[in-house]
Structure 1
Amino acid sequence: MKNKLVIASKNKHKIEEIKDILSAFNFNILSMDEAGLTNLDVVEDGETFEENSMKKADAVMMVTNCIALADDSGLEVDILDNQPGVYSARFSGEGANDQKNNEKLLERLQEVPMDKRQGRFVSVISLAFPDGRKVSVRGECSGMIGFEPKGDHGFGYDPLFIVPEYGKTFAELGEEIKNKISHRAKALEKLQEELKQIVGGKLREDRNHQ
């Protein structure tokens, strides 16, 4: 029987990414909706990604009595003192959405030349276990903020985030490449190692040959 793991998120894109990257583990992975938590709303009022992700994981674990995984992620831009940070999803204020957030970011960086547009995506993933064990891991992906949105894939700030190694935005690269190099992928790689130690998670042998 597979262990149930509930992802503490209602973001369909994020859930798909996490399911894809953790598919090699022997978990029955459920979204909040699939676990019957449609009405559960956790206030993300922490000052750090770590605080927010663990708060969400704890809340879902307490309700479901299952292992809960939560991700809190966002974009930090050096010249903006690491804003939008934990406020990435609501950067443009009330009624915030991806387009409005991207527009505000471009407005804030309007006079900033490319060599000053460094930033990073950050993902902190936390696990809360019914027996009280807790784990948090952090992954980062460095890049530059472009002058205009490019690409049709991904979500959030993906159309503006340029990966120097490829010279393209996350939204241009697509899910297959993004899921190998992203901040969330790096955090999940660390989580895989933690899972091997904590719950005896075992990767399929073909995972290392993909």
Structure 2
Amino acid sequence: MSNIVDPLVGQIAARVRTERERRRWTLAQLADASGVSRAMIHRIERGESSPTAVVLGKLSAAFQLSVSSLLALAEGSTGTGDGEAAERGGHGTGTAAGVRRKTDAAQWRDPATGYRRRQITGPHFPAEIAEIDLPVGGRVPYPAAAFAFVRQVVWVLDGRLTFHEGDTVHELEAGDTIELGDPVPCVFANTSGGACRYAVVLARGERP
């Protein structure tokens, strides 16, 4: 059976703390940069609270990482520095290639919306692919900074996705894709009466 939520909470906690400490930021500094309260960040880093998709979006934006990157790095966290190598685009050491069974992949569930996200690629693969199930009524906003320094394609696999790209709204059906342009605030919403499943394909661009 797939590992859902719990296995990733501790890994997300470790990754958020590692990213903050690597930048030599205090909790207060990360709170200022992200707009997430110091108390919430403290609970997340201690593994006492599972962050929502909105909170993850704000934290990843502060770190200049995509949500996919943050979760992929969390899934690959080993405490050996491989996660940092993955962020730089390197392959680290001990990277396993080959078959990755669906039942072996950890899923992350947003406690606020029930949205489920599964990383398809591992933390050392040069592109990031995630599969998302967005339930009826689900709405997940992300700040523009969460899309900085990345090239991203959204591919609707099943159902219908209402995608807000800045002030523009796209109604995407199964099989439709959208390649994102310059970073703007985005919202993923399921306003239909049925389930929606889509994939996010991301490649890292230039960063300072």
**Fold conserved between structures, TM > 0.5:** no
* TM-score normalised by length of structure 2: 0.31
Larger radius of gyration, structure 1 or 2?
1
